[in-house]
Amino acid sequence: MTILVVDDEPDYRLATKMVLMAEGHKVVLAENGEDALKKLQEENFDLIISDIYMPVMDGIRFHRAVRALAKFEKMPFLFISAFDDQHTLDAVQDPRYDGFLRKARPTEELVEWVQYLAGPEGSRGKLPPGGARSRLNNQQRTGFRGGPFI
């Protein structure tokens, strides 16, 4: 699987790349949405993992630009963020977003999300990685009750 990782933090990009490469994936890095859009034109990807808050073009604007391109309208898209405040959670509630993972979560959860999103949408389980337990913990912590976000 070829994965595009978009994040303005160089250390997080590199750490994510190392985790995903250890799982056998090819990983391409971009530092913001504008850079990522260029890379989408150069290579075929199976999944996009994107930070939300970035300079130049943030993750929400990047997601809109990706979805506006017919070729990528069904591309699995996982948002990541160091923030899980109400503003961030409100930003990712749109059902067109496939998932949200807080950056501080264990790397195993990132791997689980990649495996979950790699399968055809219709064959994915009802509960996303982390299942009901993670969603319950998230609800207790933030009050968020949205879709498949942990």
Written as one string, the DSSP assignment of 81-146 is ES--SHHHHHHT-STT--EEEETTS-HHHHHHHHHHHHS-GGGS-SS-TTHHHHHHHHHHHH----
H helix or E strand, kind and range, residue 37: helix 33-42
Q: Which range in 28-42, 88-102, 124-138 is most confidently predicted, on average pLDDT? A: 28-42
Domain that holds residue 94: 2-142
Q: How crowded is residue 57: how many other Cβ atoms within 10 Å of its Cβ?
A: 17
Percent of the chain past pLDDT 70, that is, above it, reads 69
Q: At what angle do helices 33-42 and 59-67 cross, to 10 degrees?
A: 30
DSSP state of 33: H
For residue 49, the model assigns a pLDDT of 93
For residue 26, with 0-12 CB atoms within 10 Å meaning exposed, 13-18 middle and 19 or more buried, which class applies? middle
Residue 98, in any domain of the structure: yes
Residue 147, in any domain of the structure: no
For the cut 50, the answer to whether the pLDDT of residue 106 exceeds it is: yes
Q: What is the mean pLDDT of residues 90-117?
A: 76
Could you give the number of structural domains in the chain? 1
For residue 96, the model assigns a pLDDT of 54
Q: What is the mean pLDDT of residues 129-135?
A: 46
Residue 13, in any domain of the structure: yes
Amino acid letter at 102? R
Q: How crowded is residue 98: how many other Cβ atoms within 10 Å of its Cβ?
A: 24
Residue 102, in any domain of the structure: yes
DSSP state of 45: -
For residue 134, the model assigns a pLDDT of 40
Q: What is the mean pLDDT of residues 10-24?
A: 94
pLDDT grade, residue 2 (50/70/90)? very high
Q: What is the mean pLDDT of residues 27-35?
A: 95
Residue 150, in any domain of the structure: no
For residue 66, the model assigns a pLDDT of 92
Instruction: Assess contact for 110 and 37: CB atoms under 8 A.
Output: no
Higher pLDDT, residue 62 or 121:
62
Residue 148, in any domain of the structure: no
Instruction: Assess contact for 117 and 150: CB atoms under 8 A.
Output: no
Residue 138, domain CATH: 3.40.50.2300
The residue behind tokens 């979805």 is 67
Residue 73, in any domain of the structure: yes
pLDDT grade, residue 133 (50/70/90)? very low
For the cut 90, the answer to whether the pLDDT of residue 142 exceeds it is: no
Higher pLDDT, residue 127 or 61:
61
Residue 149, in any domain of the structure: no
